[in-house]
Amino acid sequence: MAFQILLNVVLAFLWMFIKVSYDPISFIKGYIFGLVIIFVLRRSFGSRFYLFRLWSFIKLIFIFIKELILSNIAIVKVVLKPKLDMRPAIFAMDTELTRDWQITLLSSLITLTPGTLVIDVSEDNRTLFIHAMNIGEVEDEINSIKNSFEKAILEVSS
């Protein structure tokens, strides 16, 4: 991905040199033409076309904001309820993610989601221990985390 962006910038500079005009407008033009060229030649790179990846990253940010707002509403509901009848618990969740930054990102996302907070990551980085504020069914919780965040992170890194 970094290589493709660098190539795109180089192509934009090439466009500026060809046109002999050194202003931001021609840089942007060259960048767009370079984008088209990289899109046409996308099969010759090792990774995916980088705009797709950027798009999934933006999607991830929107998921993040949505979950943050939902989690706050959930917290407000629990705090302002007259009776404290939630059922806290610590449950284990196995993760498919392998790299360190992916696991860090996943645990930040989990911490900001409705009623879950990461307590510990196991030694082999395969299991996350999560404290849930109000646990319903453990399986459901795990599935909802997996379907939303883990998939989005895998999409970004693939």
> Of 54 and 76, which CB lies nearer to another protein in the complex structure?
76
Single out the residue of 21, 98, 108, 143 in contact with another protein (rule: CB under 8 A): 108
CA 57 from centroid of its chain's CA atoms? 5
CB 107 within 8 Å of CB 118: yes
Instruction: Quickly list DSSP for 42-86.
Output: GGGSSS--HHHHHHHHHHHHHHHHHHHHHHHHHHHHHHH-SS---
> Of 52 and 57, which CB lies nearer to another protein in the complex structure?
57
Q: x/- string (CB under 8 A) for another protein, residues 65-104?
A: ---xx-xx--xx-xxx---x-xxxxxxx------------
- Which are the contacts of 51, defined by CB distance < 8 A and separation ≥ 6? 35, 39
Residues that bind another protein (CB under 8 A): 68-69, 71-72, 75-76, 78-80, 84, 86-92, 107-108, 111-112, 115, 117-120, 122-123, 127, 129, 131, 133, 135, 138
